[in-house]
């Protein structure tokens, strides 16, 4: 199985993510795409694979020191990274805006597949990877292979520290609501962290 795409934009997004994120966060981004794409396949959802992949690889860039904005929530900062990268790749303005939108919406209230399939898939993928939400809907062999190829490397604890930092510094952001809503318990009880 492969968890990556081979397009110019996909390669550029991976290169940037690999350069600026720690291995645990990079693997999370790849797993988020893989969970979203697998969910789409299992549910017969048509989607733009390149848009989902680029958005998934860049969705947490706002958690990294070089792109952490003191005024914007991390998902909005990450959306701007996506706009800049894809502008350099020649994506038209509307497609650049979609990459930003998919990243921003992954931290908002649930978006249905009918409303916005790529945003829905990124929400499904990140939720499965961060807290194990809907994990039972995935074939255990798929999840096992994904974790073998893209191990967690202590992702839960490191991610929790990042979002708690965002919440403390930006008390009106979505991360603050997420933390206040019991994120720590959900993240630390993710069944994938008990595998192997």
pLDDT tens digits along 14-25: 999 999 999 999
Q: What are the backbone angles phi and psi of residue 101, rounded to the nearest 5°?
A: -60, -45
For residues 166, 108, 75 and 182, what is the CA-based torsion angle, rounded to 10 degrees? Answer: 30
Average pLDDT of the residues of the chain: 95
Closest among 68, 132, 76 to 102, alpha carbons compared: 76
| Residue 122 pLDDT grade (very low, low, confident, very high; cuts 50, 70, 90) | very high
Using the structure block, give the residue that is written with the tokens 């790749």: 89
The DSSP result for 53-115, as a single string, is HHHHHHTTGGGSGGG--SSS-HHHHHHHHHHHHHHHTT--HHHHHHHHHHHHHTTSS---TTT
Amino acid 155: pLDDT: 97
Q: Rounded to a whole number, what is the largest CA-CA distance in the chain?
A: 45
The 10 Å Cβ neighbour count of residue 49 is 17
| Residue 111 pLDDT grade (very low, low, confident, very high; cuts 50, 70, 90) | very high
For the chain, the straight-line distance linking the first and the last C-alpha, in angstroms and rounded, comes to 20
Q: pLDDT for 153-196, tens place per residue?
A: 999 999 999 999 999 999 999 999 999 999 999 999 999 987 54
Closest among 35, 55, 59, 37 to 46, alpha carbons compared: 37
User: What are the helix and strand counts (H, E) for the chain?
Assistant: 10, 0
3-state secondary structure of 22: coil
pTM of the model: 0.96
The 10 Å Cβ neighbour count of residue 112 is 10
Amino acid 1: pLDDT: 61
**Whole-number Å distance between alpha carbons of 154 and 140:** 20
| Residue 20: DSSP 8-state | H
Considering Cα of 74, then 89, then 110, then 184, what sign does the dihedral take? negative
| Residue 3 pLDDT grade (very low, low, confident, very high; cuts 50, 70, 90) | confident
């Amino acid at each position: 199985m492969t968890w990556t795409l081979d397009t110019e934009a996909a390669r550029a997004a991976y290169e940037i993510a690999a350069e600026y994120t720690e291995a645990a966060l990079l693997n999370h981004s790849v797993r988020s795409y893989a969970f979203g794409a697998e969910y789409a396949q299992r549910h017969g959802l048509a989607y733009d694979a390149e848009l989902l992949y680029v958005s998934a690889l860049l969705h947490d860039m706002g958690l990294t020191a070089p792109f952490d904005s003191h005024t914007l929530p991390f998902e909005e900062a990450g959306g701007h990274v996506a706009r800049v990268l894809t502008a350099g790749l020649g994506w038209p303005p509307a497609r650049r805006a979609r990459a930003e939108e998919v990243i921003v919406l992954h931290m908002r209230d649930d978006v249905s597949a009918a409303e916005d399939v790529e945003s829905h898939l990124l929400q499904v993928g990140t939720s499965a990877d961060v807290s194990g939400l809907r994990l039972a809907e995935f074939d255990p062999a798929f999840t096992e292979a994904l974790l073998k190829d893209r191990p967690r490397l202590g992702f839960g604890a490191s991610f929790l520290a990042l979002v708690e930092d965002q919440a403390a510094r930006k008390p009106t952001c979505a991360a603050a609501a997420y933390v206040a809503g019991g994120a720590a318990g959900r993240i630390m009880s993710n069944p994938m962290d008990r595998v192997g």
